[in-house]
Amino acid sequence: PSKPPVYQDMTPRAYLKFLADARGYSGREAAEMIDHAFELMNLQDVSDKPVKRLARGVRRMVSMAQAVFFGPSALLIDEPSDELDPQEVLTLRNALTELAKGRAVLLASSNLTEIETLADRILVMDKGRIVGECGRHELQNLYVMTDEMCVVTRSPREAVEKALAKEKGLSVTDVLNCADGLSVRVKMQGDGRAQLFRALNGLEVLEMTAARRKPDELMEYLVSERFDGSRLERSEGGNA
């Protein structure tokens, strides 16, 4: 949840002690469970500070600590890294990786970097429907665009655009300055690599690679009518 369900006037330690008492745990067993949860979420330094004085990201980590406190067989987590700073994100990812060794961890997230890092099996959903299923490697492959190329050249922009204009089915979609000169993104109709090679003959080309979608472009593509999720391979196994 966007607002962690944690009692603001309690310390994290007192909060987990309250949960342990409610479940019938006491003494050494409860203390060991609390210490393990704090170690997993890297909360040792704030365990005795009132929750209301903690940063929002830390409060979220406290909420995560209570979620894993009793060792559930499955965890459902919505946007886990929301409002966390970079160090907290790393701590959370390490914790989720450790937790996934003994249970199912289901993440609901629009953060593709997070999904690529953590998930073994990925379901793509749009408007409540599953539109595709894949593993992390298949998702990474979707960043590569089959109808666009990225060309790095030292030739003048005018010369590049003039050369590309001579070949049908090629159009420039973006031109950026880079350390080696220009990075030119070229849209093709189908597999237009042969035409592209012909068009650039005689120019000073340093590199030519398939263009890659930006994360927001890939997210837009995944929920568009152009995306055919049925063509993706299903992952084998995995907990997250």
Tens-place pLDDT, residues 119-168? 888 888 888 888 788 888 888 888 888 789 999 999 999 999 999 999 98
Give pLDDT, residue 228.
Answer: 65
- Per-residue pLDDT reduced to its tens digit, 128-141: 888 788 888 888 88
In the chain, which stretches have pLDDT less than 70? 1-4, 225-240
pTM of the entire predicted model: 0.62
b/e for 135-152, b at 16 or more Cβ within 10 A? bbebbeebbebeebbbbb
Give pLDDT, residue 178.
Answer: 94
Contacts of 7 (CB under 8 A, 6+ apart): 15, 18, 51
Dist CA 141 CA 182 (whole Å): 25
Radius of gyration of the chain, Cα coordinates, nearest whole angstrom: 25
